[in-house]
Amino acid sequence: MESMQAALNRLSKQPAHQIDELNKIWVRDLKELVYDIEDSVDAFMVRIDAPVHTKPHSFRRFFDRTIGLLTKAQSRHHIADDIQDIKKLIDEVSKRKERYNSFGVGVQPAARVDIDPRMPSLYQDAAKLVGINGPT
């Protein structure tokens, strides 16, 4: 997940007009995967960390612990299925990006930057400027 976040951060630093459509689609898919992973982790934390409040030495506590172990095993099985599904989705997104980036497209180079033609005059020496000897 750290690698996904790093890739998203790297692309977010690029100006929007320099990112091609394939990378925009890939970023959208990657964000959805990150959300799915976070949802699975949250569901895992809720299912596994459920507290049990009963008396220390009672049949009810034994029964609750036994049912809790079965429930945790079932929850872990569902979480494992979620993880497998997410891994498949990650592989699909990765293969799709590799397949379509094989055409040699990606982030467009920033070779040309348009600059306002008045901008260089702001950084001239005062001696070179004309018409600022006195108030007009």
Q: What span, in angstroms and rounded, lies between the C-alpha atoms of 33 and 25?
A: 12
pLDDT at residue 38 tops 50: yes
- The average pLDDT across 24-43 equals 84
The pLDDT value recorded for residue 52 is 53
Q: What angle do CA 132, 135, 136 make, to 5 degrees?
A: 95
pLDDT tens figures, 81-125: 888 988 898 888 888 878 877 655 444 555 566 777 777 777 777
Q: Tokens 């000897």 belong to which residue?
A: 133
Torsions phi, psi for 89 (to 5 deg) = -65, -40
To 10 degrees, the CA torsion angle through 76, 77, 79, 83?
A: 130
Q: What span, in angstroms and rounded, lies between the C-alpha atoms of 122 and 57?
A: 82
